[in-house]
Chains A and B, each alone.
Chain A
Amino acid sequence: MVSPEDELIRKRQRDRARLTALLLAAFVILLFFITIAKTGMNW
């Protein structure tokens, strides 16, 4: 039996884990494009 408080904790943890995953994916994509742009600029 999971209490409502437990359920709320799990929900918050899930939401934060999803957001962290999304932000990490966005960061990897951003790094990829930064690398492409920097190599193209011949800095």
Chain B
Amino acid sequence: MPTLELSNPAALPADWRDFVALTKPRVMSLVVFSGLCGLLVAPVKLPLVLGFTAVLCIALAAGACGALNQWYEVEVDAKMRRTAKRPLPAGRMERQSALQFGVGLGAFSVLLMGLATNWFAAILLAVSILFYVIVYTVWLKPRTAQNIVIGGAAGAFPPLIGWVAATGHLATLPLLLFAIIFLWTPPHFWALSLFVRSDYAAAGIPMLPVVAGAQSTRRQIFLYSLPMAAAAVAPWPLNLAGPVYGICASVLSFVFLILAGRVAVNRATEPSAMDAEKHLFAYSVFYLFALFAVLVADRYLPW
């Protein structure tokens, strides 16, 4: 049997684990969870297998977004410590493979969503993928410091899609869930970008701390946290959720505002002194998980 010459390392087929890494599984968990919550709080109950398929489609679409994002940003990822070990910048996968994988996964998720639930949910899923890839990754991210503000809409789609998969139409509650994630995204990402600022600056991405400075970013974090907290509590006075959700959302949002306030008054310039920003970033992830979990519990548990 003749042996193959492997002078080009790219000739080695990518490991399947690298394809999994391309889907950004850690980011996917929050997307899947919020989509599942949108599905569970809907007044129409889908058969288990269709509900599972809807959440699977949301997960696959998120994976497609991750793959296409990494395909497009390979040069940028190579310049940042946080992303340099990803499969593409590390040279473990050909760029073309990532593109084919991302497009295939995205198309498959939209088709399966349409066949299993309804085509309105499938269209929303397609819009969310295109919004993330074209509007956020290609257009906004390399051009404006407001990339996260508008691009945050892409991450806010899952609860909306989950609800529409179950009901076939939109309503006030899923739009509020969309608003919560949309308004949560800037404080969440700006807190992160404050303590990895040098990475973004090296890669030439105009994140707010790079363009407007740390103090302006800290002020914006606090300002965005205010409407976010209002949107989080809103389902209670609007009678879309019960008092248990209202009280929990108020407490969770109050803590968020306290942490955002600590960030606003912090004057640190070195990442090692940015404990307030790190605490807000870690809490923001817990906040969204907890808020959505309480909303579902409020719907199902006999308080």
Contacts and interface: CB of A to CB of B under 8 A. Distances in A.
Size band of the interface chain B makes with A: 10 to 19
B171 interface: no
Interface in B107-123: 115-116
Interface in A1-43: 1-3, 5-6, 8-9, 12-13, 15-16, 19, 30, 33-34, 36-38, 40-41
Given A9-B12, A12-B15, A16-B13, A33 B49 contact: yes
A2 B3 contact: yes
Given A2-B1, A34-B116, A9 B13 contact: yes
Contact of A37 (B13, B15, B16, B49): B49
A33 B78 CA distance: 43
A37 B3 contact: no
A40 to B, nearest CB: 7
Contact of A12 (B12, B48, B56): B12
Q: What's the dominant secondary structure at chain A's contact region?
A: helix
Nearest to B15: A12
Contacts of A16: 13, 16
Contacts of B11: 9
A22 B50 CA distance: 21
Contacts of A33: 49
A39 to B, nearest CB: 11
A10 B12 CA distance: 10
Given A9-B13, A12-B13, A16-B13, A30 B1 contact: no
A8 B3 CA distance: 12
Interface string B1-21: 101101000011111100000
Contact of B3 (A1, A19, A38): A1
Interface of A: 1-3, 5-6, 8-9, 12-13, 15-16, 19, 30, 33-34, 36-38, 40-41
6 contacts: A12-B12, A12-B15, A15-B15, A30-B49, A30-B53, A38-B50
Given A19-B16, A37-B47, 13 more contacts: A2-B3, A3-B4, A5-B12, A6-B4, A9-B13, A12-B13, A15-B15, A16-B13, A30-B53, A34-B49, A34-B50, A34-B116, A38-B116
